[in-house]
Structure 1
């Protein structure tokens, strides 16, 4: 009696099925969302454009979009198109928004969280930013400079958030990107209020603008340690200014 056992009697292999086109399309789009190329609220290319880019049929594209919609990653608006769902932002922002109304300490906690996230974002951006990322960061920084020169506070507050968000996008860390976007959505009016307080302190106002330049230079130099330190100094300075103003 032989104890020899053949591989065929042990391994249970299943026939290989070719991947459906719609699955491949869905995976490509999902990767774009997870990598932060497609961001919460972004509009997806039209079906016709997806068909042209992917060289597939329209039914395959439609099936892929339906799969992503079923997974809660995208949604459609009649007559407007298909968009990336901002599910994480909605989940985080709504409870905190209600909490902030009656609890100033909660706002301090959110700012503390932002401090940590922006240090990480600057560090990762210095190490991982692509040429496209750098072009966007440069564009946002120049827009921030222009708003600063005009002394247009609402515009500067918006440009400030856009500059920092571009840095977060360049981190290529999907969790960090979504969390940062959620915090900026939450702090929208607070950022403007902060700028109004700091505007009355000329020395601080100019110092903060210079700090933005230091973060920008550090990221473009590719030095993660310097970028992280610059972001830390920037957020710590803002927090000190606001404590003084309050």
Structure 2
């Protein structure tokens, strides 16, 4: 059924506001291409000049950007946080721990809300994500499993139906995909870790599906606590290996044969 804007206010501003609402609630996602102008005007039941004016307002607000080919798309909003301060924080191990600690709290909140608020559509999306995790796990495709992992978490944020939480967590998941704070592939390269992560994702999913907010929150927080601990173990093991290699090479400062 076509969307239709409210005709009680100036048409172009109302059109812009309607599209803003779609972006805010997550129906229009960062980077999504918009329909051609004619089709979009029909969907919104407005004239093409009104639509153009509304789109221009959104471009001025930085919410819509033009494509080189002439189309338009949602701007890359809240997919990551690009700032010198973020790079500085990501370079400090103790800050990464703070990042994971924050995610533990927010993930628990999101899972709890999703268990209470998820619609049938949300639950179907969560099921597809869990099925992708299972398939990638069974095929030992750790890169696909890592991507499905992030997609499951995003689906939980969407199912929380809290738009502020959704946008914050989308930003964090964008940084996670790019490896800003830690490299997920190092986790998924270890079969024994992948087994635990799959079980933890299953626990989050199952709790949401049976609408148990306390179990969902607990499973999400346990998952982040485990991720934080394993990351620390991997870093420690890498540091020990580096020391061992330096000993063999004499710190690269000796004339050993």
Fold equivalence (TM over 0.5): yes
Residue 101 of structure 1 and its aligned partner are, at CA, apart by 5.3
Structure 1, 219-228 or 185-194: larger mean CA deviation = 185-194
Residue 232 of structure 1 and its aligned partner are, at CA, apart by 0.9
Residues 1:20 and 2:6 aligned together: no
Cα separation, 1, equivalents of 2:51 and 2:27: 19
The Cα offsets for residues 99-150 of structure 1, whole Å up to 9 and x where unpaired, read as 1453222222222222222111111111222222222111111111111111
What's the counterpart of residue 137 of structure 1? 126
What's the counterpart of residue 190 of structure 2? 200
Q: Secondary structure at the match of 2:21?
A: helix
Cα separation, 2, equivalents of 1:18 and 1:240: 55
Q: Is the 8 A contact 2:30 2:76 kept in 1?
A: yes
Q: Secondary structure at the match of 2:183?
A: helix
Residue 45 of structure 1 and its aligned partner are, at CA, apart by 2.5
What's the counterpart of residue 28 of structure 2? 38
TM-score (norm 1): 0.83
Q: Is the 8 A contact 1:36 1:172 kept in 2?
A: no
The Cα offsets for residues 46-75 of structure 1, whole Å up to 9 and x where unpaired, read as 222212212221111111111111222221
What's the counterpart of residue 239 of structure 1? 228
Cα separation, 2, equivalents of 1:18 and 1:196: 55
What's the counterpart of residue 54 of structure 2? 64
RMSD over equivalenced CA pairs, Å = 2.3
The Cα offsets for residues 196-223 of structure 1, whole Å up to 9 and x where unpaired, read as 3454362x43222111111111111122
What's the counterpart of residue 71 of structure 2? 81
Alpha-carbon distance change, 240 to 201 in structure 1, aligned in 2, over 3 angstroms: farther
The Cα offsets for residues 2-36 of structure 1, whole Å up to 9 and x where unpaired, read as xxxxxxxxxxxxxxx95222222212111111111
Q: How many residues align?
A: 228
Cα separation, 1, equivalents of 2:92 and 2:213: 35
Which residue, 95, 104, 117 being the options, matches 1:128? Answer: 117
Q: Is the 8 A contact 2:187 2:194 kept in 1?
A: no
Cα separation, 2, equivalents of 1:115 and 1:167: 13
TM-score (norm 2): 0.80
Q: Secondary structure at the match of 2:66?
A: strand
Equivalent runs, 1:159-178 vs 2, <5 Å = 159-178=148-167
